[in-house]
Amino acid sequence: MANMLYRLGRTAYRKWPFFLVGWFIALLALGGFAAAKSRPMTSQFTIPGIPSLQAAETQKELFPDQPAADKQVNGQLVIKAPAGHTLAEQPYKGQVDELIKKVSGVQQMPKTKLANPAEAGPAMKQQIVAQATKQGTPKAVAEKNAEALSPLSKDGRIGTVSWNFAVDNIMDIKPETQQSILDAAKAAEKNGLTIAAGGQGMQEMMQPGATSELIGIGIALLVLVLTFGSFVAAGMPILNAVMGLMLGMMGITGATAFFDLPETTTALASMIGLAVGIDYALFILSRYRAELRHVDIKSQADREHAMGRALGTAGSAVVFAGLTVIIALSAFGVLGISMLTAMGLGAAGTVTLAVITSLTLLPALMGMLKTKAFAGRVREDKAADEFDHDSTNGSVRLARGIRKAPWAVALAVVALLAALASPVQHLHLGLPSDATAQKGTEARQSADLLAEGWGAGKNAPMIAIIDGREIDGGQKAQMGAYAKVVEWAAKDENVANAQIVQMAKKGDGAVVMVTPKTGPADKATDEMLERLRDQQAATEKATGTKLGITGQTAIAADISEKLADALPKYLAIVVGLAFLLLVLVFRSIVVPLLATLGFLLSVLATLGFTTKLVTDGTFGIFEPQPIMSFMPTLLIGIVFGLAMDYQVFLTTRMREAYVHGTEARDAVIDGFRHSGRVVVAAALIMISVFAAFAAQDNALIREIGIALAAAIVFDAFLVRMILVPAVMLMLGDKAWWMPKWLDKILPNVDVEGESLAQHGARPGTPAAVGADASGSASNTSDAAGSSNGSGATPAATVAKVFEGESHNRPKHLTGDDTRVREDGYEPKH
């Protein structure tokens, strides 16, 4: 791995025009295809096989001429007259008539005539009451049923105009259709009339935008300037990440020509792709800067070698860090949920491009800039020298502080994370609806008006599908059975109303509208559905019917339950695969185990924090509402990958020091010395990129952004920078324990770059620094053919030795194990 990346780094640096032109051509080709062939994305959340969708299939069989609940794309206008007036009064009735006329003429509206609620309400109530009382229903019950279905509230102030769009899928709704309806509603809001648009078909489609990305990039640029002290160097990770992000976005957009992709795919991929793209380039560029200190910077061959060394060491860590993220995101596919699979694979593809651009585009950019790579300096470079193992910086001071009392530090971090995780016991999952939309939006206003006029349950209707095809005794027996089903549903403590709203032509099926007392975001609504499902089998046996409950509220609840049930399986797959990968990288059982346990703590803390923020509405950032059903799965997948990034980048430097002869506890300090500052910078960039997405209007994206930003704070600063090192300092050599039999069978992936000795891995060694891939010496002169100025080759520079915090002979080097390497490099004891 290290040798291959070394050769790639040197080649990309030397032949930079070919690499830059190649990436530019790829960008144009992919962009052209995406522009020509892409289709709109969908905002539907469905999972085949859940009970509510099975009930919808039964509905299709019984009512073949009408769309089932999962295929209806509904829209509605909720209209409210000013205080002291009703919608039946003028001028309000005339305004609503004019509004209906305009809306009816909008494209994609149904052919059925829309009715003014001021007229339709009283007429419907009279018809329902007359028909019900004729069939023997008590008048009070009949009137209650009529009020539940009426498009006009009891006081006559609030009315609804509802319809199903003439489309097959929500993704077919055109923005022009929505805008025309909104314009008509706005024009009708006169004389104190309030109008709000709601329903699935009126949900605002998430349009790709650059605001959040630009905010994240701006903050990342500031962090990079402080890290490198150079404007030119700071811009390189940004440029590298933007290129990878653009390719990823175009790839996802182009993929819509072949697949139906959810609208959240792009936002998720942009969050992850931008963040890791900057971070991966940051790690490689930091190592390149360190390698340049030991070569003649004016020599082309020396700079090539430095870039090869940077890719052979930091690049190897980037590859394995990227693999952990890709594994975590790709594993969404094993859950069998198409939406999550698309989101995961889209983001994984973008991360893959981030890795590839970091390994090829960044070296090419360095080759183009040559000696100007770190120009535009704004402050002195104070980063620790690669061979300096005694200097002190902020990271070293932190590590030494932890070393004084590692037990106390570890316990304090665990206690803090446990406290943050405690609200997770109140975790409530759900899907977005008008009732959970941000205050001030059309959707939220329409939901609030419905709740005001009919109660919160008006926003959460469910449909019970009754299949009476197996009932013997004819239509009379069927009607009797249907009545018993209605009676059963109405008895639930949280059901406000249950009544038959539709009968099949043959009388062998019926639709029962079940209206809860609570809204779609209320946990009591989900509990009501669970109770009805628990009693369903007994009711079917007693009535001879087959029952199913569907509707958007039931579908959302089933999706949430399915995702919650899939979490353990997903967690086991992701953690298991990544654990094996880390064992391979670190050749240790304990370090991967610590990394995994630390991740679990940070995820629980993040879920607890998010529950407090979203479900409890703390700080007022969110209206109290359920956490998105997809949040825990996305959080686990993304945070695990990113957490392992920091673990790999920080721990590989510790292991590099350890295998070179430093005592285990001193190796932890040395890892902090050389990687701590860069890991902190990378974490700050991640946090800024994710936090910038909190400004998105889409609730799911806002939650993801805030949760991921919090997760990076907890995981990078509490777990990776404090908890894991504290435990490693306690364990000493035991942290690197590996069974001998396992050590023998595992392949050596050489993340530390041991095999780079043949290329002159260390300055001052017999191997020529400018050696090519075959080990033969290459010309160390620059492009003009001159020497480095003094006539000395880089191999003649002053040799440096690897010194730990302690200069005593490390305990893990015993007997004949002097660790003298092929390049003559020997640890100092």
Which tokens sit at 554?
């039931």
Kind and range of the H or E element at 366?
helix 338-369
**Alpha-carbon gap, residue 292 to 495, rounded angstroms:** 72
What is the distance of C-alpha 201 from the center of its chain?
A: 25
Q: What is the DSSP letter of 829?
A: -
What's the CA gap between 735 and 716, in Å, rounded? Answer: 20
Q: Give 781-802 pLDDT, tens digit per residue.
A: 333 333 333 333 333 333 333 3
**pLDDT of 734 above 70:** yes
**Predicted local confidence at residue 755, as pLDDT:** 58
How many other C-beta atoms are found inside a 10 Å radius of the C-beta of residue 303? 27
Alpha carbons 196 and 174: distance in angstroms, whole number: 19
Beta strands in 408-491 (DSSP E): 429-430, 462-467
Tell me the pLDDT band of 537, cut-offs 50, 70 and 90.
very high
pLDDT tens, position by position, 394-425 = 788 888 899 999 999 999 999 999 999 999 88
pLDDT at position 750, please? Answer: 59
Least trusted range by pLDDT, from 114-123, 170-179, 262-271, 551-560: 262-271
- Order of strands across the sheet that contains 495-503: 495-503, 509-516, 462-467, 546-550
Q: Which residues pair with 230 in a beta bridge?
A: 377
| Cα–Cα distance measured from residue 257 to residue 37, given in angstroms and rounded to the nearest whole number | 6
Residues 269 and 348: their CA atoms lie apart, in Å, by 8
Q: Can you give the C-alpha Rg of the chain in angstroms?
A: 32
Of residues 218, 224, 274, 276, the one with CA closest to residue 246 = 274
Residue-level pLDDT at 697 = 64
8 A C-beta contact, residue 260 and residue 40: no
**SS3 (DSSP) at 158:** strand
* Assigned token pair, 723: 């908890």
Enumerate residues 6+ apart whose C-beta is below 8 A from 482. Answer: 466, 468, 500, 510, 512, 545
pLDDT in tens, 309-321: 888 888 888 888 8
The rounded distance, in Å, linking the Cα atoms of 827 and 811 is 13
Residues 213 and 270 sit within 8 Å (Cβ to Cβ)? yes
pTM, two decimals, is 0.75
Q: CA-CA distance, 31 to 25, in Å (whole number)?
A: 10
- Which residue(s) pair with 556 in the sheet? none
Closest among 627, 594, 617, 621 to 715, alpha carbons compared: 594
Helix axes 664-671, 724-731, angle to 10 degrees: 160
User: What is the per-residue pLDDT for 691?
Assistant: 81
Q: Is the pLDDT of residue 696 over 80?
A: no
Both tokens assigned to 410 = 């570890």
The structure tokens 């899928």 sit at 169
- C-alpha dist (Å) from residue 15 to 8, 12, 18, 64, 296: 10, 5, 6, 65, 20
Residue 806 near residue 827 (C-beta atoms within 8 A):
no
Residue 91: cis peptide before it, omega within 30 degrees of 0: yes
3-state secondary structure 474-521: HHHHHHHHHHHHHHHHHCCCCEEEEEEEEECCCCCEEEEEEEECCCCC
- 230-244, 492-506, 763-777: segment of lowest average pLDDT: 763-777
* Exposure string for 249-282, b = 16+ CB within 10 A, e = fewer: bbbbbbbbeeeebbbbbbbbbbbbbbbbbbbbbb
3-class secondary-structure state, position 826:
coil
Question: Tell me, what DSSP letter sits at residue 732?
Answer: G
Closest CA relative to residue 132, chosen from 116, 124, 457, 516 = 124
Kindly state the tokens that stand for 764: 């001052």
| Six-digit token string for 575 | 């953690």
DSSP SS3 for 527: helix
DSSP 152: B
Angle between helix axes 316-330 and 631-659 (nearest 10 degrees) is 160
How high is the pLDDT of residue 705?
A: 82
Average pLDDT, the chain: 81
Write down the number of H helices and E strands in the chain. Answer: 26, 9
Structure-derived torsion over alpha carbons of residues 599, 605, 606, 607, reported in degrees to the nearest 10:
110
632-646 pLDDT, tens digit per residue, is: 887 887 788 778 778
Q: Would you give the distance in Å from CA 809 to the centre of its chain?
A: 47
User: By 3-state DSSP, what share of the chain in percent is helix, strand and coil, each rounded to 5?
Assistant: 65, 5, 30
Q: Residue 151 is encoded by which pair of tokens?
A: 């498009």
Across the strands, what pairs with 196? Answer: 78
As a whole number, mean pLDDT of residues 803-822 equals 39
Q: What is the DSSP string of 255-314?
A: HTTTS--BTHHHHHHHHHHHHHHHHHHHHHHHHHHHHHTTS-TT-HHHHHHHHHHHIIII
Structure tokens belonging to residue 303 = 């700079």
Q: What are 163's strand-pairing partners?
A: 75
Q: For residue 612, give the amino acid letter.
A: K
Does 804 have pLDDT greater than 70? no
Mean pLDDT is lowest, of 153-167, 326-340, 342-356, 745-759, for 745-759
Lowest-pLDDT choice from 41-50, 74-83, 525-534, 674-683:
41-50
Residue from 532, 474, 447, 475 nearest 498 by CA: 532
Tokens matching residue 616 = 């409890």
How far apart CA 205 and CA 698 sit, in angstroms, is 9
Amino acid letter, 266: T
Of 168, 199, 167, nearest to 181 (Cα)?
Answer: 199
CA distance 548 to 32: 47
CA 599-601-602 angle, to 5 degrees, is 65
Q: Where are the domains of the chain?
A: 2-41+207-431+557-745, 57-202
Span 565-578, pLDDT tens digits = 888 888 888 888 77
In this structure, the strands spanning 495-503 and 509-516 are: antiparallel
Which of 262-271, 324-333, 514-523, 644-653 shows the highest mean pLDDT? 514-523
For residues 408 and 723, is the Cβ–Cβ distance under 8 A? no
Q: Is the pLDDT score of 131 beyond 80? A: yes
d(CA 449, CA 196): 8
Topology of the domain comprising 2-41+207-431+557-745: Multidrug efflux transporter AcrB transmembrane fold (1.20.1640)
100 pLDDT exceeds 60?
A: yes
What distance in Å separates the CA atoms of residue 720 and residue 727, rounded to the nearest whole number? 11
Euclidean distance between CA atoms 238 and 217, whole angstroms: 7
Q: Which two tokens stand for residue 663?
A: 């005592």
**pLDDT digits 0-9 by tens, 180-212:** 999 999 999 999 999 999 988 887 655 444 566
Highest mean pLDDT: which of 256-270, 535-549, 643-657? 535-549
Q: What angle do CA 111, 115, 117 make, to 5 degrees?
A: 150
